[in-house]
């Protein structure tokens, strides 16, 4: 039976901290912008060993949930691995599965801020990534989210709460 007394966010962030990985994307932006940031359900994490990190997290989540509720699969982008939840049917690779974490190997040195022991990429790096994505026609499926994130960052930096 699923153990409802565990927190996936705490488990993920604990592994990120221990393994000195880096959170990037919407979670990183939200950490800086607070309530002003866009809501997101998944994590994007830089890891020098993405497959190993994904498998480690999957094992931890399964152990904490006292079941077999998660699995790892390669993502569309080569070298990226997804930790997936099996959904309500408990069967992997079905319609109700959900993405929890994408682990990706960084292609360059990532500048970070450390907040409460967890590494997050810089907000300026996020702006660069969003602008790059918006110029790429293959990334059209992301453009709406990327525009939204950019607008939120720009407005936040103007207002400086």
Alpha helices in the chain (DSSP H): 8-19, 26-33, 50-65, 123-135, 143-159
pLDDT of residue 160: 67
Residue 124 confidence class, pLDDT cut points 50, 70, 90: very high
Residue ranges and CATH numbers for the domains of the chain are 8-121 (3.30.460.60)
pLDDT value for 5? 56
Length of the chain: 161
Considering the chain, what percentage of its residues have pLDDT values greater than 90? 87
Q: What pLDDT does residue 1 have? A: 43
Task: Please state the rounded mean pLDDT for residues 91-116.
Answer: 96
pLDDT digits (tens, 9 = 90+) for 25-48: 999 999 999 998 999 999 999 999
Q: Are 101 and 12 in contact (CB under 8 A)?
A: yes
- Taking each helix axis from N to C terminus, what angle separates 50-65 and 8-19, rounded to the nearest 10 degrees? 140
**Whole-model pTM?**
0.91
* Average confidence (pLDDT) over 54-59: 98
- Comparing CA positions, the residue from 122, 124, 159, 129 lying closest to residue 147 is 129
Rounded CA separation 24/13 (Å): 12
Give the SS3 label for residue 49. Answer: coil
């Amino acid at each position: 039976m699923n153990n409802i007394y565990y927190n996936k966010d705490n488990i993920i962030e604990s592994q990120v901290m221990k393994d000195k990985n880096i959170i990037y994307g919407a979670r990183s932006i939200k950490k800086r912008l607070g309530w002003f940031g866009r809501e997101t359900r998944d994590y994007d994490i830089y890891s020098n060993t993405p497959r190993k990190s994904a498998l480690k997290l999957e094992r931890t989540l399964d152990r904490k949930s006292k079941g077999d509720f998660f699995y790892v699969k390669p993502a569309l982008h080569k070298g990226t691995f997804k930790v997936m939840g099996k959904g309500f049917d408990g069967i992997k690779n079905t319609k109700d599965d959900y993405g929890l974490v994408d682990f990706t190997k960084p292609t360059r040195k990532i500048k970070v801020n450390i907040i409460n022991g967890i590494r997050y990429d810089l907000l300026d790096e996020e702006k660069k990534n969003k602008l790059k994505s918006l110029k790429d026609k293959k990334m059209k499926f992301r453009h709406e989210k990327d525009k939204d994130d950019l607008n939120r960052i720009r407005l936040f930096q103007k207002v400086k709460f």
